[in-house]
Amino acid sequence: MEIERKFLIEKLPDLSEAFDVWKIEQAYLADKPTLRIRKKNDEYILTYKNRKKTDETGLETVASVNEEIEIPLPESIYEHLLQKKMGHIVKKTRYLFRLDDDHKIELDIFEGRLEGLIMAEVEFTDVADANGFVPPAWFGKEVSGDKRYTNKNLSKVEKWG
Q: Can 44 be counted among the known catalytic residues?
A: no
Say if residues 149 and 33 touch (Cβ distance below 8 Å).
Answer: no
Q: What angle do CA 52, 44, 5 make, to 5 degrees?
A: 30
Task: Determine which one of 28, 44, 78, 95 is catalytic.
Answer: 28
To which H or E segment does residue 77 belong?
A: helix 75-82
Closest C-alpha among 84, 50, 81 to residue 67:
50
Q: What is the largest CA-CA distance in the chain?
A: 43
Query: What are the residue numbers of the active site?
Result: 28
